[in-house]
Amino acid sequence: MEEIGKVIELSSDNAKIEITPSEGCSHCQQANVCNPFGPNKKVIELRNAVNAQVGDSVRIEIPEKNRVLSILIVLGIPIFLFMIGIIIGQIISGDQLSAILGGVGLVLAFVIVKLINNYLAKKEKVLVVIKEKIKATD
């Protein structure tokens, strides 16, 4: 999966990239999974291996070998911990505790996902990479 983005900020070896969902997103049945709050621009921070400058357009991609792992981390962990919280809440008490523990499971999942992201970044095993600089600023 490839997307085009624009570098909006540089910090040490990283670049913040603003991505506008591609035209294909408007035809995809799963678009609201990637963009649950609408077709707004996203900002991600990646290692700047292509020496892009602010204003440059870059092509980013999730390498084929990382797609399933990305999906499992970003969607699988939160869904799993949310469901575990609900099940435990139902076993212990009922609906109110289920809702609370489901929410706790989601919060815990997002913390775990962030820790995994930080770990992978330190090991330079990133799931999304800047593939190339497309257009430099003048």
Asked whether the beta carbons of 14 and 46 are under 8 A apart, the reply is: yes
Query: Which two three-digit tokens encode residue 30?
Result: 């799963």
CA angle in degrees (0–180, nearest 5) for 18-41-65:
65
Query: H-helix or E-strand containing 34?
Result: helix 31-34
What mean pLDDT do residues 29-33 have? 56
In this prediction the pTM is: 0.60
The structure tokens listed for 35 are: 């963009």
Q: Which residues contact 29 (CB under 8 A, 6 or more apart)?
A: none
Torsion 73-74-76-80 (CA) sign: positive
Give the model's pLDDT for residue 45. 81
**Predicted local distance difference test score (pLDDT) of residue 127:** 67
Write out pLDDT tens, residues 77-127: 999 999 999 999 999 988 889 999 999 999 999 999 889 888 877 776 666
